[in-house]
Structure 1
Amino acid sequence: MSLTLLLVLALSVVIGLSLGVLGGGGSILTVPILVYVAGFEAKEAIAASLFVVGVTSAVSVISHARGGRVMWRTGLIFGAAGMAGAFVGGLLGGHIPGQILLIAFAIMMVATSVAMLRGRKKKNNDAAAPVKHELPLGRVLLDGAVVGLVTGLVGAGGGFLVVPALALLGGLPMSVAVGTSLVVIAMKSFAGLAGYLTTVQLDWGLTLGVTAAAIVGSLIGSKLAGKIPEAALRKAFGWFVLAMGTFVLIQQAPPGLQWPIAAGVAGLTAATAGICWFFISSCPLRNRGRRSTDVPSPA
């Protein structure tokens, strides 16, 4: 077994850990790992990521279903719309140049990192929040199709798009939205994969190996989910995804634009931190600084 294969499998465990602990982020890691470590072509990596995330989500949903955190009717309705969009996205993705797909994927990574750094707002009565039984079907079908299209096209945008949509449209508590989203993610991932398989051939041996490692990681992650502070993990992972997205964007940019893009992202990050520090009273950076200065020094 080569060193590269061992590295790919080890990183695949991290994919599963992300899904198990954070409830998302699997596809955001899968595509860069397959492209830059395993040596897959862009389209093959996106198709393989859809399979990996689809199977891992399907396995992960079992524990959520046992805990009563899955609304099957809501998930199946949203997932059915997502499957249609994902299949179309997969068909389109097979005819779009790989460089454009990777640029779109990098933009999705940056958007996902922002969502992760912002975090999810939890309501105090989240666990006791009433669940709506009548869904706005037109809106659900439209949103499901759009989310599915994005997922099928670039192989990303799973839980971080589905969970908020389920919470808002279906009135689901956040914990139930996370469990239900796994049903949706599995359905639309397999539909997107079907679209890609019309034009893309996969290395099934390596794809199945990555999937198995990701499943192991997801099982470990589900055990760690309640023991590690989610907020800290989410922020750390968000910064990592931002760095990875910037790296992919720079790699795919024309040579003359690589340094301007890097400088632009660095400047935007610095500007955001400055705005947070000076203008937002609840800024984590400022609060962290206050906590460190408020601690009395030992006599």
Structure 2
Amino acid sequence: MIFVLAVVAGALIGLSLGALGGGGSILAVPVLVYLLDQSPAQATTGSLVVVGVTSVAGAVAAHRAGNVLLGRGVAFGVVAIGGAAAGAKASAAVSEDVLLASFALLMLLVGALMAWRRLGHGDPTRPDPDKKRPGLDDPIISFSPTFRCACPRALKVLVTATAVGLLTGFLGVGGGFLVVPALLLALALPMTYAVGTSLVVISITSASALAVRAGSGTSPDWVLVLVLTIASSIAAVLGARLADRIDTDKLQGAFTLLVLGVAVYTAARAFPALV
């Protein structure tokens, strides 16, 4: 039964990552803790494996479909590595109750932001017709023929990439809910490219955070993590292929309700443990 739960949960995580470029990773930790009976420390480590491998699978499928700007994704991911390393080290310094409560707070925030955007407020996918947006080929920093820096954009990328890295390392999430808006706003990528490129970023941050956690002595049940990862990876490939064909707006709406429900449940379980 537990393996069936892992397959179903993995499919849901992968579908979200592949079709929406993020969001699914926020479910990996609650799935590992409450459905697969892992400790919070084990879950945040195992989540990095699930999210990282799934993102690689989704990124490959998205790249074949022509929806990935590889150079921009790699650059954003490299900037985020420092935050991921710092977050992974910080997670080892806090108790498991604090770790799970922090994750519950993050889930509540993400669920609220998703619902806010669903209601039509602050949606970065809706372009401002009065605002000039830079082109896809416009560099942020260039040295030839003379030095040129689009510093406001560079600052946006630095701050957002570092925040994504910190969350990835500390809580074992991919940060797609931050990466996609960042790629939309800071790099002015169209939505289709932002979704695919975000998977490259998540792959890099997850791998770097996992490398820092290696040898920490906290190991999840690798068999369950493997089952969850395989199911998630297959679903991510299907989600990436279906991204241009399915109604992602309806999918995102349903996923928002799911995230809010899991967030409330996680908070109800995590917060009393702090008292």
The TM-score, its normalising length taken from structure 1, stands at 0.78
User: Do the aligned residues in 2 keep the contact of 1:91 with 1:198 (CA within 8 Å)?
Assistant: no
- Contact 2:6–2:227 (Cα < 8 Å) also in 1: no
> 2:74 & 2:135 partners in 1: Cα distance?
20
With over 3 angstroms needed to count, the CA separation of the structure-2 counterparts of 1:256 and 1:52, relative to structure 1, is closer
Corresponding residue for 1:206? 224
Alpha-carbon spacing, 1:252–1:89, altered in 2? closer, same or farther (3 Å): same
Name the structure 2 match of 1:171. 188
The alignment's C-alpha RMSD in Å is 2.3
Deviations 1:257-285 (A, max 9, x none): 8xxxxxxxxxxxxxxxxxxxxxxxxxxxx
Aligned residue for 1:20, secondary structure, equals helix
Distance, in Å, in 2 between the alignment partners of 1:222 and 1:75 is 16
Q: Which residue of 2 aligns with 1:64?
A: 62
After TM superposition, give the deviation of residue 237 of structure 1 in Å: 1.1
CA spacing shift, 1:240–1:76, aligned 2, 3 Å: same
Amino acid at match of 2:12: V
Query: Greater Rg, structure 1 or structure 2?
Result: 1
In 2, Cα distance between the equivalents of 1:227 and 1:67?
12
Q: Compare relative contact order (CA 8 Å, sep 6+) and give the higher one, 1 or 2.
A: 2
Matches within 5 A, 1:106-255: 106-117=104-115, 118-119=117-118, 120=123, 121-123=125-127, 130-135=135-140, 136=151, 137-156=154-173, 158-199=175-216, 200-254=218-272
- Show the counterpart of 1:21: 19
Write the deviation string for residues 181-218 of structure 1: whole angstroms up to 9, x where unpaired.
Answer: 11110000111112222322232222122111111211
TM-score (norm 2): 0.84
Task: Tell me the matched-pair count.
Answer: 253
Equivalent residues of 1:89, 1:195 under 8 A apart: no
Q: What is the Cα deviation at residue 255 of structure 1?
A: 7.2
Corresponding residue SS for 1:253: helix
Using the alignment, how far apart are the partners of 2:172 and 2:2 within structure 1? 23
Q: Distance in 1 between matches of 2:93 and 2:111?
A: 28
Match of 2:8 in 1: 10
Q: Is the 8 A contact 2:16 2:239 kept in 1?
A: yes
Report how far residue 249 of structure 1 moved: 0.6
Q: Unmatched 5+ residue regions in structure 2? A: 141-150
